[in-house]
């Protein structure tokens, strides 16, 4: 009686990873009430700069009251459901986006389509660019949510572009070609490449070389490029962010046919730290896509109340400039804290310059170079160490042992505590390794036993892991 879409979901392959969430929710860390609880490090939220927004609100109390220059905008706003979006908001957004890109590129508000979050933007683009059964190529590792956002209701397939640690997970020409051939083998027509730049989970910005590879590839195959630039405002270190628009401009692709094959996704959830407000968008140079996406946005418009508030915040250029700078400073500091804390425990990460997380190399802590061993390690870290971090396999990483660890969704103290816990854990493993040579099997057996007590609850109603 129900559709396949409604039923299949309950047998989602990723359900085992939701256990991390459930465990966390059963036993969440709290500095005062539950100091031995699980620390959430799987949530890519930016909680570092909300105070700046809060203080702006305190200085501009009229805006939340729907007032502008003593005039009430209430009636206008509550009635405003035009899928073309609040013009003032779109005007501010394109300027904000340009500023993030160092004003090296400009955007036209008429080419911007507002959506309820980038989750909605990405799905909408799939509906516009591909038929059910067609495919998009995505570099691994990638955000687990894409498996649902891009595929579920659209029927579009994802074929991975395998990246690996030998070159810091950069996208190569051969990886692109291999992915394309794999799609052919699977009898899937490739409609485009979707990249996340800066990358989730890597935390790195794509190099000009990589972008050029992707562009050349897409030009050659005559397919689309979707560049999800949701983390563009979180670039805190060099090299600086090169957007797809800049890269394409530098190749003199403006005013060519290919220019219309480039589509950008953006959101305020990571840069401004307001995921609850559901502000996403599609930017495209293709009028047909804009027209279709605009109508599709009916299924996920942004509340006019929120459009109005944010258009006012973004219009304050002094605020946005200061916010961007300060936010980046704070992100950099936090990332450094995490990196040095991990180093101190003998754990390394991929060198990164963006994002709200690090891509951490725990291959040395694996019992064997397998995903089973990765899951074992993950369970240990979750249950024994008390940290909910995200295993690389959930990001479709081809190499076991990598984990995404978030740093911007907790206080400094909590981050320090988590670093301490990791250090203790790694020390104990080293100790065990030493003892093992002396004590043969008993220690590792008891550790193994405690693991077999693990019971997986496939909870149906689990909250999905966030970006």
Taking the complex as a whole, the smallest distance from the CB of residue 211 to other proteins amounts, in Å, to: 21
- The interface mask with other proteins, positions 132-151, x = CB under 8 A, is x---------------xx--
Q: Per the residue annotation, which of 39, 170, 223, 228 is the catalytic one?
A: 228
Whether 176 contacts 217, CB under 8 Å: yes
- From candidates 90, 101, 162, 191, binder to other proteins by CB under 8 A: 191
Q: What does the DSSP 8-state code read for residue 28?
A: B
In whole angstroms, what is the distance from residue 224 CA to residue 134 CA? 13
Neighbouring residues of 301: CB distance < 8 A, sequence distance ≥ 6: 81, 83, 114, 115, 116
- From candidates 216, 240, 288, 344, binder to other proteins by CB under 8 A: 288
Question: Using the rule CB under 8 A, is 102 a contact of other proteins?
Answer: no
Question: Using the rule CB under 8 A, is 292 a contact of other proteins?
Answer: yes
Q: Per the residue annotation, which of 29, 143, 231, 266 is the catalytic one?
A: 143
- From candidates 295, 329, 412, 416, binder to other proteins by CB under 8 A: 295
- From candidates 242, 274, 387, 426, binder to other proteins by CB under 8 A: 274
Q: Per the residue annotation, which of 90, 270, 379, 465 is the catalytic one?
A: 270
Q: Which of residues 366-405 bind other proteins (CB under 8 A)?
A: none
Whether 43 contacts 53, CB under 8 Å: no
Question: Using the rule CB under 8 A, is 13 a contact of other proteins?
Answer: no
- From candidates 243, 304, 352, 393, binder to other proteins by CB under 8 A: 304
Question: Using the rule CB under 8 A, is 313 a contact of other proteins?
Answer: no
Taking the complex as a whole, the smallest distance from the CB of residue 418 to other proteins amounts, in Å, to: 19
In whole angstroms, what is the distance from residue 423 CA to residue 429 CA? 10
Nearer to other proteins, 205 or 294 (CB): 294
Q: How many residues bind other proteins (CB under 8 A)?
A: 81
In whole angstroms, what is the distance from residue 64 CA to residue 366 CA? 51
Q: Which of residues 239-268 bind other proteins (CB under 8 A)?
A: 261
User: Strand 280-284 and strand 262-267: pairing?
Assistant: antiparallel
Q: Which of residues 32-91 bind other proteins (CB under 8 A)?
A: 45, 47, 50, 53-54, 57, 61, 64-66, 72, 74-75, 77-84
How many CB atoms within 10 Å of residue 5? Answer: 10
Dihedral Cα 249, 251, 255, 257, nearest 10 deg: -120
Question: Using the rule CB under 8 A, is 169 a contact of other proteins?
Answer: no
Q: What does the DSSP 8-state code read for residue 140?
A: S
Two tokens, residue 395: 């990001």
Whether 169 contacts 392, CB under 8 Å: no
Taking the complex as a whole, the smallest distance from the CB of residue 367 to other proteins amounts, in Å, to: 34
Task: Say whether the peptide bond before residue 317 is cis (omega within 30 degrees of 0).
Answer: no
Taking the complex as a whole, the smallest distance from the CB of residue 75 to other proteins amounts, in Å, to: 5
Whether 285 contacts 112, CB under 8 Å: no
Q: What are all long-range contacts of 253-258, with beta carbons under 8 Å and residues at least 24 apart? A: 253/215, 253/219, 258/215, 258/218, 258/219
The yes-or-no answer on residue 143 being catalytic is yes
Active site residues: 143, 228, 230, 270
């Amino acid at each position: 009686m129900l559709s396949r879409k409604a039923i299949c979901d309950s047998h989602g392959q990723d359900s085992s990873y939701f256990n991390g969430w459930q465990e966390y929710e059963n036993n969440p860390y709290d500095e005062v009430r539950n100091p031995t609880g699980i620390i959430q490090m799987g949530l890519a939220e930016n909680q570092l700069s909300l105070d700046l927004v809060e203080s702006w609100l305190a200085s501009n109390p009229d805006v939340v009251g729907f007032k502008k220059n003593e005039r009430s905008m209430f009636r206008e706003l509550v009635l405003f459901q035009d899928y073309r979006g609040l013009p003032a908001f779109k005007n501010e957004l394109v300027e904000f986006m340009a500023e993030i890109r160092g004003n090296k590129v400009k955007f036209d508000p008429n080419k911007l389509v507002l959506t309820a979050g980038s989750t909605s933007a990405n799905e909408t683009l799939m509906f516009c660019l591909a038929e059910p059964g067609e495919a998009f190529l995505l570099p691994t590792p990638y955000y687990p949510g894409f498996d649902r956002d891009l595929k579920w209701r659209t029927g579009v397939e994802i074929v991975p572009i395998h990246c690996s640690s030998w070159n810091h997970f950069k996208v190569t020409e051969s990886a692109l070609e291999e992915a394309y051939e794999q799609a052919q083998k699977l009898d899937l027509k490739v409609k485009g490449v979707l990249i996340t730049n800066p990358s989730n989970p890597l935390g790195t910005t794509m190099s000009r070389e990589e972008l050029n590879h992707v562009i050349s590839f897409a030009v050659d195959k005559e397919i689309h490029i979707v560049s999800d630039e949701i983390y563009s405002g979180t670039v805190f270190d060099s090299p600086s962010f090169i957007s797809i628009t800049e890269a394409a401009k530098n190749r003199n692709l403006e005013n060519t046919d290919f220019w219309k094959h480039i589509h950008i996704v953006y959101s305020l959830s990571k840069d401004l730290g307001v995921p609850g407000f559901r502000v996403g968008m599609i930017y495209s140079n293709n009028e047909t896509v804009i027209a279709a996406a605009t109508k599709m946005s009916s299924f996920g418009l942004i509340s006019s109340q929120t459009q109005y508030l944010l258009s006012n915040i973004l219009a304050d250029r002094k605020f946005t400039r200061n916010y961007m700078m300060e936010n980046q400073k704070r992100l950099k500091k936090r990332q450094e804290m995490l990196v040095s804390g991990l180093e101190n425990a003998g754990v390394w990460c991929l060198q990164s310059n963006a994002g709200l997380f690090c891509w951490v190399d725990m291959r040395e802590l694996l019992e064997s170079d397998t995903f089973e061993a990765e899951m074992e390690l993950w369970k240990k870290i979750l249950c024994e160490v008390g940290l909910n971090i995200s295993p690389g396999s959930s990001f479709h990483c081809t190499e076991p042992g990598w984990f995404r660890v978030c740093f911007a969704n907790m206080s400094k103290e909590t981050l320090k505590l988590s670093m301490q816990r990791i250090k203790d854990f790694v020390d104990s493993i080293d100790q065990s390794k030493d003892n093992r040579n002396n004590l043969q099997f008993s220690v590792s057996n008891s550790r193994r036993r405690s693991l077999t007590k693990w019971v997986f609850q496939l909870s149906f109603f689990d909250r999905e892991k966030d970006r």
